[in-house]
Amino acid sequence: MKTRDDIRNIAIIAHVDHGKTTLVNELLKQSDTLDEHVQIEDRAMDTNAIEKERGITILSKNTAVRYGDRQINILDTPGHADFGGEVERIMRMVDGVLLVVDAFEGTMPQTRFVLKKALEQHLTPIVVINKVDRPGARPEEVVDEVLDLFIELGADESQLDFPVVYASAMNGTSSYDPDLDTQEHTMKPVFDTIVKTIPAPIDNSDEPLQFQVALLDYNDFVGRIGIGRVFRGTIKVGDTVSVLKLDGSKKNFRVTKLMGFFGLKREDIEEAKAGDLIAVSGMEEISVGETVTDAQHPEPLPVLRIDEPTLQMTFATNTSPFAGQDGKFVTSRQLEDRLKRELHTDVSLRVEDTDDPGAWTVSGRGELHLSILIETLRREGYELQASRPEVIYRDIDGVNSEPFESVQIDTPDEYTGSIIDTLSQRKAEMQNMESVGNGQTRLTFLAPSRGLIGYSTEFLSITRGYGIMNHTFEKYMPVIKNWNPGRQKGTLVSMNAGKATTYAMMGIESRGTLMIDPGTEVYEGMIVGENSRENDITVNITKGKNLTNVRAAGSDDMAKIKTPDHLTLEESLEFLNDDELCEVTPHFVRLRKKTLNTSAREKEAKKRKRN
């Protein structure tokens, strides 16, 4: 069988923060791809501002490097399970994977998640043990852990015989030996292993065209752009081809633009053939998984499966008294158009209308997936309000089921008791507990997803920030009945509008934890703190000090309050209860009650108690 020895197609997969994107940077730098004068910044593949800030990859990126007379097409994938829909589709575009594992942390939950997807596609693996220069690195033990994981996931014999390269992507060094002294400033071992191990694509360019879309991009000038692999045949600019839709229908279109990937750029090309990874425009409504074929030979490829959402929230237009003061886009039409536009590129997202014309049910793969969408919207100038995240229940064989997640925790030994206790209250079942040395314990749980909503803040508090928690979707299981894992404490709610005063806050802070600073503008029904008890308390946070002409020297200078607990966007969403909303604008994140009027809210509470 004829193959194309001039190219290799690989995906780089790993757990979050194990160094995928840094490794791609080094491969770009040390290949024959970029001109000498081109300066490449750190993690150049993370082009999105949120990706750069958080150090995570959200969207898959294509690049291609030149090594000798060969082109190596590389797909940098997200490591977080919330973006697993991207990983799964990418596996169909490549012939092998570079599994990057931290030499200190070893295999982690997302390592298992991404590797499972690769092995299911029978891809050829190469293992890169990264960060070998890290204090406490244990590269040889980690290789054994990786082998155990391969066996556990049912790898075949050829996959178990994986080559290993030891590297420090941060320093641009690698070698075939775990000994740190053998590291040299070169990525040659990685390149050579790719060329030698990863199979070259089959060259069937003379057969009828088959190109499958695995990723989507969107451009205001050319509309939707389908990114994928040519599995068979040749495609040229100007060709008339057929798109075989997911619903079984067929549409013809003319290829107006073809783009190939090279270095950090997309370049216009005139034609592509079997084995190439390309971007195609000209199809207005193309979707992930659809096949572009020769008009005379419409043969579809197997449809790509996309993981279904497990979590949903209600997004609505901002109705608070401060609505429209901060954002550029505040109407329901603007918000709806933007959410529908997000569907052009994010196939794991669902947006559905509700009975309320200004609200939509938005479903995604997890809290991170949805919170990053909200963060993106606020940075673009949108105002909205979001409800508490809820899991999506499913009927499976007549049984009402809910999503469960595999949770892995690395923590100092002294906190294990508290973690086991708090997670068991959230209906988690401990599956494993092992000491990993240096006073650290690794705990593994199976937990209902709704029990994990809001847990990360409590977890950081329990472990004083020293614990690491990772969780990935495992499976749907029967619903746990008669259990509501909502927040245990009540809130401090402002009873009027105005500016919060230090004087009022000093009187209130004994009741709980405040979340705003003195001088903050508040409105009736806005949440200003967390009560130390279960019930909500209405407070007058704008109360001023009665002015008299009697003053003790320096008494006003002594007025001090504890530092308020400012919540991030994610913490605010986790904090919410069913009767609360998170108001999000470009510069503010506020918590509020759904019913702002104090007396109306009290009537509702009495009615709920009676029922």
Domain boundaries, the chain: 7-197, 210-293, 311-393, 407-477, 491-609
Residue type, 597: N
Mean pLDDT for the stretch of residues 396-425: 90
Q: Does domain 210-293 have CATH number 2.40.30.10?
A: yes
Contacts of 396 (CB under 8 A, 6+ apart): 476
Which tokens hold the place of 529?
A: 């703190």
CATH code of the domain occupying 7-197: 3.40.50.300
* Class in CATH terms, 311-393: alpha beta
Cross-strand pairs, 128: 100, 165
**Interaxial angle between packed helices 416-425 and 455-462, expressed in degrees from 0 to 180 and rounded to the nearest 10:** 160
Q: Does domain 407-477 sit in CATH 3.30.70.240?
A: yes
Q: What is the pLDDT of residue 550?
A: 54
Q: Give the CB-side neighbour count of residue 529, counting CA atoms within 13 A.
A: 30
* 3-48 per-position pLDDT tens digit: 889 999 998 888 777 777 788 888 888 766 544 434 444 434 434 4
3-state secondary structure of 335: helix
- Is 331 labeled as ligand-binding? no
pLDDT given at position 84:
56
In this structure, CATH architecture of domain 491-609: Beta Barrel (2.40)
* Band of pLDDT at residue 587, cut at 50, 70 and 90: very high
The mean predicted confidence, pLDDT, of the chain is: 83
- Which residue in this structure is represented by tokens 């901060």? 326
Q: In terms of Cα–Cα distance, which of 545, 543, 542, 544 is closest to 526?
A: 542
Domains 7-197 and 407-477 are alike in CATH topology: no
Q: What is the mean pLDDT of residues 156-177?
A: 90
* φ, ψ dihedrals at 435, nearest 5°: -85, 135
Whether 18 has a binding-site annotation, put simply, is yes
The winner for highest mean pLDDT among 17-21, 57-61, 132-136, 560-564 is 132-136
The answer on whether 22 is annotated among ligand-binding residues is yes
Whether the pLDDT of residue 52 is over 70: the answer is: no
Check whether 130 is labelled as a binding-site residue: yes
Alpha helices (H) along 479-596: 502-508, 569-575
Q: How far apart are the first and last CA of the chain?
A: 73
131 annotated among ligand-binding-site residues: yes
* Predicted confidence (pLDDT) per residue in 380-404, tens digit: 999 999 999 889 999 998 999 999 9
**What pLDDT shows up at residue 85?**
58
User: What integer is the mean pLDDT of 344-358?
Assistant: 85
The pair of structure tokens assigned to 245 is: 């839709």
Q: What share of the chain is helix, strand, coil (3-state, %, to 5)?
A: 25, 35, 40
- What does the alpha-carbon distance between residue 442 and residue 435 come to, in Å, rounded to a whole number? 6
| Confidence at residue 169, expressed as pLDDT on a 0 to 100 scale | 86
